[in-house]
Amino acid sequence: MTHEQLFVKMALDSWKSYLDRTDELFKKFTDEEMMMEIAPGRNRNIYLLGHLTAVHDRMLPLFGLGERLHPELDKPFLTEADKSVTEIPSVKDLRSYWSEVNQRVNAAFEKVTPGEWFEKHASVSAEDFSKEPHRNKLNVLINRTNHLAYHYGQVKLAERK
């Protein structure tokens, strides 16, 4: 295994590990618990489920891996704060979108070659990329894993003991 293949594996393993842990944690919560706040006055569990689904879904066009599945999630879970949009999908629907998006994203990731992970993503211009070659797809994946770990830590506080 070359170092290039190795670090793509390391980044993907790390992503999948936090995705599995977060998925298991959300599954532990009842639909009623999903409507509760993580800590007093903070985001609800449902908001973080929708937020993570939207952020993961956005990787598909960002990496040139296809159209998004649920662009309608951006307004209630990304651009607006929790509790500011009154009409949001049900917990049941969101759980289904979460699984659907992660499955699609992971299936698409399997087809990306190690070399392609080092290519530029859609939000950086060719000119900027030539000066800043670290702004590649793999770097976004590393940052998305940290973002996932950040929110997983928060949802973990809401777990029953």
Query: Which of 45, 53, 102, 145: binder of its own copies (CB under 8 A)?
Result: 145
Listed in sequence order, the residues at least 6 apart from 115 whose beta carbon sits closer than 8 Å to its beta carbon are: 4
Tell me the closest approach of the beta carbon of residue 37 to its own copies, in angstroms: 10
Which structure tokens are listed for 161?
Answer: 């003991």
Residue 143 found at the interface with its own copies (CB under 8 A)? yes
Query: Which of 7, 33, 61, 119: binder of its own copies (CB under 8 A)?
Result: 7
Q: 3-class DSSP state for residue 44?
A: strand
Residue closer to its own copies, measured from CB, 40 or 111: 40
Interface pattern 92-121 for its own copies (x via CB under 8 A):
--------------------------x---
Query: Which of 1, 67, 87, 110: binder of its own copies (CB under 8 A)?
Result: 1
Long-range contacts of 20-23 (CB under 8 A, 24+ apart): 21/152, 22/52, 22/148, 22/151, 22/152, 22/155, 23/98, 23/99, 23/102
State how far the Cα of 67 lies from the Cα of 137, in Å rounded to an integer: 16
Question: Helix H segments across 58-86?
Answer: 59-62, 74
Site for its own copies in 14-33 (CB under 8 A): 14, 18
Query: Which of 28, 42, 71, 90: binder of its own copies (CB under 8 A)?
Result: 42
State how far the Cα of 123 lies from the Cα of 62, in Å rounded to an integer: 7
Binding site for its own copies (CB under 8 A): 1, 3-4, 6-7, 9-11, 13-14, 18, 38-42, 118, 133-134, 136, 138-139, 142-143, 145-147, 149-154, 156-157, 161
